[in-house]
Amino acid sequence: MSVSPRGTDLQSPAVETYLLGRIGHGRCLELQQRLVGQLAGRDDGQIALLLCEHPQIITVGRGGSPEQLATESRLLETRQIEVRWVNRGGGCMVHCPGQLAIYPLVPLRWHGFSVGDYLERLQAGIVETLDELNIRGNVRPGRHGVWGRTGQLAALGVAVRDWVTYYGAWLNVAPPMGLFRLVETDPLEHTRLSCLLSERRGAVRMPTVRSMLVRHLTEAFGCDRYHLYTGHPLLRRGYRRAGDG
């Protein structure tokens, strides 16, 4: 059992995990913003973890610019894919089905984490998940993300409000990789985007990845248990509890 940063022997808070399925980026962001307000007002260190997939969209973070977009693409010229500027770290990112969006909402002060600590723990949870899948993931000094043998597998982009994190990471499980050509990477970074399907050269099931990731992130954030739900009550009336861990 982990000990809370307040020096008590109370049981650590559970990671309340919500499986949202496929959900629009804007709707998911609205949910995160509401949860940030709720968690900032609590005194028990509660962590929420949202796992989902987004329909096709490109987001541009604080480190991005229009120059990163392949504007000659017909998908962008005809606006078949939305481009949205967002308040998170990182640059331009493509989101689509087959990519797992990982949004941990962590009250940093309660847990005694700096933003740097949080990023390291988030990356560590992803690396441990890959290890269980027999994929050797690694991080690179001074850069945020997780790389494998075939290229970058996960990107990070985080925001913090009232000392609660939102946004998080995006892990390419088995997305249509051709869409990623819509965003131009910096050739000086030598970044090739890849996915778990290419890394393993075989099928990778999204439910399996989610299940492993929940366990490893729970450990990475210093918690000893998690609760798993399907959906979220702020998105619809009623939700089904899928199980505990």
With tokens 């980026």, the residue in question is 25
- What's the rounded Cα separation, in Å, for the pair 59 and 37? 23
What's the pLDDT score for residue 185? 67
pTM of the model: 0.90
Sequence-distant (6+) residues with CB within 8 A of 65 are: 91, 92
Instruction: Give the distance from CA 57 to its chain's centroid.
Output: 15
Q: What is the DSSP letter of 107?
A: B
With tokens 């005694």, the residue in question is 112
Is the pLDDT at 237 greater than 90? The verdict is: no
What's the pLDDT score for residue 64? 87
Residue 3: pLDDT band by 50, 70, 90 thresholds? very low
What's the pLDDT score for residue 242? 56
Express each pLDDT in 160-217 by its tens digit: 999 999 999 999 999 999 999 888 765 545 578 999 999 988 889 999 999 999 999 9
Q: What is the DSSP letter of 79?
A: T
3-state secondary structure of 190: coil
Is the pLDDT at 108 greater than 80? The verdict is: yes
For the chain, domains (ranges, CATH) are 15-234 (3.30.930.10)
Q: Which of 94, 222, 221, 71 is nearest to 157 (CA)?
A: 94
Express each pLDDT in 115-165 by its tens digit: 999 999 999 999 999 999 999 999 988 888 999 999 999 999 999 999 999
What's the pLDDT score for residue 49? 98
What's the pLDDT score for residue 69? 86
Q: What does each C-alpha distance from 72 to 67, 76, 180, 197 come to in angstroms?
A: 11, 7, 14, 28
Q: Which phi-psi region, left, alpha or beta, contains residue 164 (left: φ > 0; alpha: ψ -120 to 50)?
A: beta
What's the pLDDT score for residue 205? 95
Express each pLDDT in 57-97 by its tens digit: 999 999 888 888 887 777 777 778 899 999 999 889 999 99
What's the pLDDT score for residue 84? 93
Instruction: DSSP for 205-220, please give it.
Output: -HHHHHHHHHHHHHHH
What's the pLDDT score for residue 6? 38
Express each pLDDT in 8-21 by its tens digit: 445 789 999 999 99
